Amino acid sequence: MNHEGLAQLLRCPACGSEMRYRPRVYSYCCDGRVLHTYRVKDQIADLVHGEPEGRQKRVNKAFERIAGRMYEKNVTGATAFDRFMSWLMWGTSKFIPLLFELLDSVASDCEPGYFLDIPVGTGVFTAGEYSLQPNLDFIAADYNRKMLEEAFEKVLAEDFGNVMLVRTDVRSLPFADSSFSGILTMNGFGSFPEPARALDELARVLKPNGKMAGSVYIRGERFLTDLLLGRMGSWFGLFSRPIYKEQEFLAELEARGINNVVTRKIKSIMFFSGRKADPQASAAETLETADLIVLDAQPASEVPLPDATQ
Ligand SMILES: C[S@@+](CC[C@H](N)C(=O)[O-])C[C@H]1O[C@@H](n2cnc3c(N)ncnc32)[C@H](O)[C@@H]1O
């Protein structure tokens, strides 16, 4: 994929009109009555309109502070200290290997086309997986520029050719409706300000029968996690309220037509996967047949799983 290819998917985040790439000025420009331009810097297309405000400003600052090695050590449990911190925050570090498998298990079950990885963060869990999916073109997106720069280093090192990096706000995605065959949203819902708006946008840009999967921090599973992350984490800007309970999150997915959701819960982290309803397809065709690999092992939710025999 190149800038011209990406431009075909884009809609101006300010006015919604179509966009084109102008190589002479390294910018995407919209076709609206007022010209909005968005720069590409260091191969990162900056599609954010305006400056961060309110809650987003706080979240952005928090990730600015920890972007890079410190973040990656912490989330991958690199040292004994990091694993201890993971245990303190989450009561376990068993979910970490599943984060490395998640993109592959979702992407390998998607139709060829475009795939959105948001928030990509530093790409620590996903950047190494893009090259394994030659049928997909990946948009790796995040709000935070520093996090994206870290992800870019990984993409550059591997020279994958099927990845574009985009700075964007999940609450107003600069993509046309039904653009993506698949979407991964890993560890984002705890941080996104206005998670309901984020879900609206993710459902809008997903194709009918497209797959949406991810991992999400859910409230009400472990007292210490809710105290340290839900309360203290949100003071520091790393987490944003409201943080959903399991049933609340599933209801939000269902309300946006994400069906046949399967889940696997490890303490306060819930992995989920579902498909967007396809009005054209018969009910039988929309039933999930190939569940997320990491979910297959142990569907631990109380949520009734779809009966594949129906
Ligand atoms: C906990 S990190 C997860 C990153 C990556 N998926 C991972 O698991 O390492 C949360 C990310 O959400 C991003 N983020 C916060 N608000 C956002 C928004 N409005 N739009 C897009 N990304 C956002 C942050 O910049 C941060 O990189």
| pLDDT tens, residue by residue, 130-173 | 988 989 999 999 999 999 999 999 988 776 689 999 999 999 99
Q: Residue 183: its pLDDT value, please?
A: 98
CATH number for the segment(s) 51-296 = 3.40.50.150
| pLDDT tens, residue by residue, 229-288 | 877 777 777 788 789 999 999 999 999 999 999 999 999 999 999 999 988 775 555 455
The atom number, within ligand 1, closest to the CA of 60 reads 25
| pLDDT tens, residue by residue, 48-89 | 988 888 888 988 988 898 887 789 999 999 999 999 999 999
Quote the pTM value.
0.90
Q: Which of 191, 199, 200 to mutate to test the pocket of ligand 1 (most atoms within 8 A of CB)?
A: 191
- Of the candidates 80, 79, 70, 161, the residue with the CA atom closest to the CA atom of residue 124: 70
- Of the candidates 223, 206, 42, the residue with the CA atom closest to the CA atom of residue 115: 206
| pLDDT tens, residue by residue, 202-222 | 999 999 999 999 999 999 999
Q: Residue 72: its pLDDT value, please?
A: 94
Q: Residue 216: its pLDDT value, please?
A: 97
Higher pLDDT, 297 or 84: 84
**Ligand 1 lined by 233 (C-beta under 6 Å):** no
The atom number, within ligand 1, closest to the CA of 117 reads 6
Domain ranges of the chain: 1-41, 51-296
**Ligand 1 lined by 263 (C-beta under 6 Å):** no
Higher pLDDT, 32 or 288: 32
